Amino acid sequence: MADQKKPNYLQKVLIIASGLAFLSLMIIPLAGLFGKSPEAVQPNNNPNAPANLDLKQLQAESQGYEQVLKREPDNLRALQGVIDTKMKLGDYQGAIPHLEKLSQMYPDNPQVLQALAQAYAMSNNVTGVTKVKEQLEKNLAKNPDDPRLLQAVAQMRIVTNDLAGAIEIMEKLAKIYPQDEKLKQAIVMLKQEQNKQLSPDMLQPIPTPSK
């Protein structure tokens, strides 16, 4: 039985994408979207989780926002609030329907789509991540010079292991942000990772057929 405490491959890639590729550009801007920290609380296995009182408060807030949404389904403040609290509680599955609704309300907002991609990834939903990537790629085709879309698409390409495509986008971003040394470092690191994947040493040997 797999160790559930270990993040799976998709989660690991998302962590790398958000931490490596945009160290200074904040590619998953949940803080900007909701005005709060994007860090999720893991009450069951996070040694740094807040006290039970804080968890109960988050749960109460989430339930309160859900009650408001039952009366006012399009209440934007309640919608953002329930997403924020569920993400902090680590209830990514519970956040997804609300994020999907928010993305329908704001289909051209890359920040909303990035938040949705994060929830999909943390829920091991590869299909969902792919769907978000396709939407962002379409948006970028309409607005090829939008820095927010460039950042979002680059992240999605990293998540789907399209390193060459991500590097192409990030080099374009480097021209927009020429003083961003961390972005330049991230490009170098991605190229190194790409070279590792292309290296013959990384290939698995072909087993010898049994006689």
pLDDT in tens, 84-135: 999 989 899 999 999 999 999 998 888 899 889 888 988 888 899 889 999 9
> Cβ contacts of residue 31 below 8 Å, gap of 6+?
37, 38
* Confidence at residue 3, expressed as pLDDT on a 0 to 100 scale: 43
Would you tell me how many other CB atoms lie within 10 Å of the CB of residue 55?
15
Q: 127 in a domain, yes or no?
A: yes
Q: Percent of the chain having pLDDT more than 90? A: 36
**For residues 73 and 26, what is the distance between their CA atoms, to the nearest angstrom?**
30
Identify the CA nearest to 159 among candidates 2, 32, 8.
8
Out of 25-39, 44-58, 96-110, which region has the weakest mean confidence (pLDDT)?
25-39
Out of 33-37, 55-59, 119-123, which region has the weakest mean confidence (pLDDT)?
33-37
Gyration radius from the chain CA atoms: 19
User: Are 100 and 116 spatial neighbours (Cβ–Cβ below 8 Å)?
Assistant: yes
Q: 89 in a domain, yes or no?
A: no
Q: 159 in a domain, yes or no?
A: yes
More confident residue, 175 or 27: 175
> Cβ contacts of residue 21 below 8 Å, gap of 6+?
27, 154, 155, 158, 166, 170, 186, 190
pLDDT, the chain, mean: 76
Q: 55 in a domain, yes or no?
A: no
Number of domains comprising the chain: 1
Q: 135 in a domain, yes or no?
A: yes
User: Among all chains, which residue has been given the structure tokens 């590792």?
Assistant: 196
Q: 14 in a domain, yes or no?
A: no
> Cβ contacts of residue 94 below 8 Å, gap of 6+?
86
Q: 143 in a domain, yes or no?
A: yes
Query: In the predicted model, is pLDDT for residue 33 greater than 80?
Result: no
* CA 129, chain centre distance (Å): 9
The pTM score is 0.67
User: Among all chains, which residue has been given the structure tokens 């860090």?
Assistant: 39
CATH of the domain at 148: 1.25.40.10
Q: 58 in a domain, yes or no?
A: no
* Confidence at residue 114, expressed as pLDDT on a 0 to 100 scale: 86
User: Are 34 and 183 spatial neighbours (Cβ–Cβ below 8 Å)?
Assistant: no
The whole domain housing 173 covers 120-188
pLDDT tens, residue by residue, 169-191: 999 999 998 988 888 888 888 88
